[in-house]
A and B are shown apart, each in its own frame.
Chain A
Amino acid sequence: SAVISQKPSRDICQRGTSLTIQCQVDSQVTMMFWYRQQPGQSLTLIATANQGSEATYESGFVIDKFPISRPNLTFSTLTVSNMSPEDSSIYLCSVGLAGYEQYFGPGTRLTVT
């Protein structure tokens, strides 16, 4: 398994501002992902964070809105830019380990007012 931490655990932000979420893993991992969970909904993949190269974004998500960094094999950041109330969600990072079992961080609960 893996121990994953995220910062901040929650935040309340104003419309038009940006928030950067950090994800730290206790071991080196190749695969790291960012998901969004809107209120009352299931999880949707935003992007795959690739170490040393640009992230791979899913349909409906763009780099200008959700820039991602992956400077090494234990750390990644997701920025939610120019926020609107529709961005209010839980943002989760996950890692894929042996057998491609995925483990998730505790999530960051974002409220945009």
Chain B
Amino acid sequence: KQEVTQIPAALSVPEGENLVLNCSFTDSAIYNLQWFRQDPGKGLTSLLLIQSSQREQTSGRLNASLDKSSGRSTLYIAASQPGDSATYLCATHKAAGNKLTFGGGTRVLVKP
């Protein structure tokens, strides 16, 4: 059974600092990995999708890497802003069309 872990559970940084969010998973046989953002009491916004054959994906200030062999993914957010304050969740797909298995999330606070 896949287990997805995100450490730390919470993170506080001053504005302008780069954010590094970690995600680890126990079963490396994943189809893809997806990073989401969730604002308090809201739904999830998809940030980046990394297919199992890819090493990284980039979108603006966001960069996500994937190392399947070690069961790790890292989300980098450059030059953080107060608007980046949210909970960030990673999730893996075991197989095509299958369910997502979520990590517990990292709650980020960017202080002005």
Q: Which residues of A contact B (CB under 8 A)?
A: 1, 4, 6, 30-31, 33, 41-45, 48, 58, 90, 92, 94, 96, 99-107, 109
Q: Which of B13-21, B60-68, B73-81, B97-105 contacts A (4 or more CB under 8 A)?
A: B97-105
> Do B42 and A99 have beta carbons less than 8 Å apart?
no
- Picked from A43, A48, A100, A107, the residue with its CB within 8 Å of the CB of B31 is A100
Given A99-B32, A99-B49, also A104-B102 (CB < 8 A) = no
Chain B positions 30-53 with a Cβ under 8 Å from a chain A Cβ? 31-32, 34, 36, 41-46, 49, 51
- Picked from B32, B43, B45, the residue with its CB within 8 Å of the CB of A100 is B32
> Do B43 and A42 have beta carbons less than 8 Å apart?
no
> Do B46 and A103 have beta carbons less than 8 Å apart?
yes
A104-B43, A107-B41 known, 10 other contacts, Cβ within 8 Å = A43-B91, A90-B41, A94-B44, A100-B96, A101-B32, A101-B34, A101-B46, A104-B36, A107-B42, A109-B41
A-B contact pairs, 17 of them (CB 8 A): A4-B43, A30-B97, A42-B89, A42-B102, A43-B102, A44-B102, A99-B51, A100-B31, A100-B32, A100-B97, A103-B46, A104-B36, A104-B45, A104-B46, A106-B43, A107-B43, A109-B41
| Smallest beta-carbon distance A110→chain B, Å | 12
> Do B104 and A102 have beta carbons less than 8 Å apart?
no
| Smallest beta-carbon distance B111→chain A, Å | 22
Majority secondary structure of chain A interface residues (helix, strand, loop or mixed): strand
State the CA gap A104–B99 with chains docked (Å). 13
State the CA gap A45–B99 with chains docked (Å). 7
Q: Which residues of B contact A (CB under 8 A)?
A: 31-32, 34, 36, 41-46, 49, 51, 89, 91, 93, 96-97, 99-100, 102-105
> Do B41 and A92 have beta carbons less than 8 Å apart?
no
> Do B44 and A104 have beta carbons less than 8 Å apart?
yes
Smallest CB-CB separation from B51: which chain A residue?
Answer: A99
State the CA gap A40–B31 with chains docked (Å). 28
Q: Kindly list chain B residues whose C-beta atoms are within 8 Å of the C-beta of A101.
A: 32, 34, 46, 49
| Smallest beta-carbon distance A38→chain B, Å | 12
| Smallest beta-carbon distance A35→chain B, Å | 8
